[in-house]
């Protein structure tokens, strides 16, 4: 019924207090499909991002 093959989101992290500070983020994925679904998560960092 719904043939989504790609979805994208931009995550803006809060300012860091130190260059070496580690920050974590979590991604939740859900579906209403009764079939087995495979997901692939691609992450890339953009240092000069302007919103």
Give the C-alpha separation, 5 to 2, whole Å: 9
For residue 48, name the pLDDT band (cuts at 50, 70, 90).
confident
The mean of the pLDDT values for the chain is 76
Q: Residues with Cβ < 8 Å from 37, sequence gap 6 or more?
A: 31
Residues, the chain, total?
Answer: 51
Of 36, 27, 35, residue with least CA distance to 7 = 27
For residue 9, name the pLDDT band (cuts at 50, 70, 90).
confident
pTM summary value: 0.43
């Amino acid at each position: 019924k719904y043939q989504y093959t790609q979805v994208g989101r931009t995550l803006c992290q809060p300012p860091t207090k130190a260059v070496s500070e580690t920050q974590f983020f979590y991604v939740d994925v859900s579906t209403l499909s009764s079939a087995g679904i495979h997901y692939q998560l691609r992450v890339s960092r953009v240092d000069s991002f302007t919103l």
